[in-house]
Amino acid sequence: MRQFATITVIGRDKTGVIARVTAFLFQQMANIEALEEQVTRGQFSMTLQASWPNSDCRAAALRAGLDQLAQQLGMEIKIRFTEPNRRQRFAIMVTKEWHCFDALLTAHHRREIKADPVLVLGNRPDLAPLARKFSLPFARIPWTDRARAEARALRLLEEQGIDFVVLARFMKILSPNFVWRFKNKIINIHPSLLPSFPGPQAYRQAYESGVKIAGVTAHFVSMRLDEGPIIAQGSFQIRPGMTLKDIIARGQQIEADVLVKAVKLYLGKHLDVYWGVVKEV
């Protein structure tokens, strides 16, 4: 049996960070399973996956050593241990549209989603009653100040031991500072067949452009708006005479189905992200 962990490193870019972190992990008998780093506007971000034989994993020493290294580098370093056979815990982020949120909770109630929703975060109070219906805690976080809102959300996610996040029509943009802490672990649903029609008015853009086929896209959230690796898509024909209201109603039905499908694919460990493209394995 092996122990697995994900380590995130975030801070101002500087020389030698990767070498310092990996050297420490090698000293701790770690095997580096995967490593991805990026520098965006002078901000360094790295996500690293490591494993140990259970007999070699000393969690307390790892945490203490990484905390000391974080102070030396002037960066944030976090480690999250994961157990391959443990049911994952996820958070759902919402605004006011209920259809995707309800579909996720209904699928979980029917035991179709083999993970546990443990927290609902909303920038509005609209969906608190639906969360209570399914006995889930609801935390309202106003998004007027994004930095403060994201800091509070991240604290709650860490306190609850969240493994991944689902955006069920959450109508706010997440910063790179947030996204890098859950690299390829934030699933979003967008109301268009990406890369066409990014942004908040996708159905209107499709209607005004006169397209004959519209659809939705479930994808991992990345640094760029509505450009993350695609997990699943669904489409429908726009028939003559369909109004914008008709298109939105049909699209919302498919949004719910495709988002649930994406979560199932993610949990089934059938996905791998390679050079920004999701491949089923």
111-127 pLDDT, tens per residue?
A: 999 999 999 999 999 99
Fold classification of 2-82 (topology level): Alpha-Beta Plaits (3.30.70)
Span 128-175, pLDDT tens digits: 999 999 999 999 999 999 999 999 999 999 999 999 999 999 999 999
Place of tokens 């790295």: 46
Token pair of 139 as six digits: 């935390």
Higher pLDDT, 36 or 150: 150
Kindly state the DSSP code that residue 222 receives in the 8-state scheme. Answer: -
Q: What is the pLDDT, as a whole number, of residue 228? A: 83
Q: What is the pLDDT, as a whole number, of residue 237? A: 95
Which of 43-52, 58-67, 124-133, 222-231 has the least mean pLDDT? Answer: 222-231
Q: Which residues pair with 274 in a beta bridge?
A: 277
Under DSSP, is residue 8 helix (H, G, I), strand (E, B) or coil?
Answer: strand
Nearest to 215 by CA among 233, 197, 195: 233
Which band of pLDDT confidence, cut at 50, 70 and 90, is reported for residue 200? confident
**Spatial distance between the Cα atoms of 199 and 179, rounded to a whole number of angstroms:** 18
Annotated catalytic residue, options 56, 67, 126, 226: 226
Our answer to whether residue 102 is catalytic in this structure is no
Task: Report the mean per-residue pLDDT for the chain.
Answer: 90
Q: What is the pLDDT, as a whole number, of residue 87? A: 86
Q: What is the pLDDT, as a whole number, of residue 177? A: 85
Q: Above 80 in pLDDT, residue 231?
A: yes
What is the percent of the chain where pLDDT is above 90?
Answer: 69
Domain 89-280 has CATH 3.30.420.10: no
- 48 close to 34: Cβ distance less than 8 angstroms: yes
Which residue ranges make up each domain of the chain? 2-82, 89-280
- 123 close to 97: Cβ distance less than 8 angstroms: no
What is the percent of the chain where pLDDT is above 70?
Answer: 93
Which of 27-31, 55-59, 146-150, 238-242 has the least mean pLDDT? Answer: 55-59
Q: Above 50 in pLDDT, residue 26?
A: yes
Angle between helices 59-73 and 17-27 (to 10 degrees): 160
Under DSSP, is residue 147 helix (H, G, I), strand (E, B) or coil?
Answer: helix
